[in-house]
Amino acid sequence: MRYGFRSSRRWVLGSFVALTLAASGTTAAGAATPARPLLLVGGTFGPVKYMDDALAHFRSRGFTAYSMPLSGRPPGSVDIKVSARAVCDRIDEIRRETGAAKVDVVGHSQGALAVRYCVKFDGGLSTVGTMISLGGVNYGTNKADICASASCVQMRPGSAFLDELNSGDDTPGSVDYAHLYSYERNGGINGEDIPLADGATNVAAQDLCPGLELKHRDEYDSPVMRDLIVDAALHRELTATCP
C-alpha cells in the first residue's frame, strides 16, 4: 500500500501548517496510537548516541522505539549492503521481541539507502510497514566525493550501487514510503531534496515552515521532522508546529 497527497492544497492556521495525506483507507482517528515498533537508523559516521534525544521523544509519544548505527567503524564506512543486512537482522530481532508482524523504520541520510536496500532486496518487503527516508540521499550526493570509504563511493551519483538500488520500482511492495527532507538552500545536504520516485510521499520541512533553516545533521533533533515522522508512522495528516 502506498500513500500520497490527495491534493496540493496547503493551509495556515497561525503557525500551524498541514498537508493532507491519503492513507489508502486508514483514517487519522483509526491510527491514533502507534501500531508498530519504530526503528531509527543512523547516517554516515553517526554514532548511536546522536539519536538518543529523538529516541526518547518517540518513546514519550507512545512508540516502542529503538535505534541503531550503520555498520563499520566509524559507522557507515563499509559497504551499504552490509548495513542493509544489519538493518534487516535488527528488524527481525524487534519482531521476535515484540511479537509485531512489521516494524516502521526511519533511515537518516545514508541510513535511508541501507533501509531501502533491506526492503527491496533483503526481505524487508514483508517485515517493514512504513519506510521513512529522513534526508536520504536516494540518488546520490556530490558530498560523497570528499571521502573514500566503500559507502562514500557507493553514494556518488551514477555508482553501481545506486544503479542497482534505483532500478525498477523505487517503492516496491505493500510498504508505505515517505521522504522527508530539508532543501539544500536551507541547510540540507546536496541530493537529499530530490523527491523519491514511484508514488512516495515527499515533503520538505520548508513546505510546511517556509524559510526554516535546518541542517542535515540536525534532522533527527528537529521538532518539525519529529512531527512529520510521527504522522507518517501513524498514517495521518503530515503536520508540524513551526518555530
- pLDDT tens figures, 152-197: 999 999 999 999 999 999 999 999 999 999 999 999 999 999 999 9
Counting residues of the chain whose pLDDT is more than 90, the rounded percentage is 83
- pLDDT tens figures, 188-235: 999 999 999 999 999 999 999 999 999 999 999 999 999 999 999 999
Assess contact for 13 and 232: CB atoms under 8 A: no
Residue 122's Cβ-side half-sphere holds a number of Cα atoms within 13 Å equal to 22
Assess contact for 135 and 161: CB atoms under 8 A: no
User: Which grid coordinates are listed for 147?
Assistant: 571521502
> Can you tell me the distance from the alpha carbon of 51 to that of 219, in angstroms, rounded to the nearest whole number?
10
- The residue type of 143 is K
Whole-model pTM above 0.75? yes
Assess contact for 36 and 102: CB atoms under 8 A: yes
> Can you tell me the distance from the alpha carbon of 21 to that of 87, in angstroms, rounded to the nearest whole number?
27
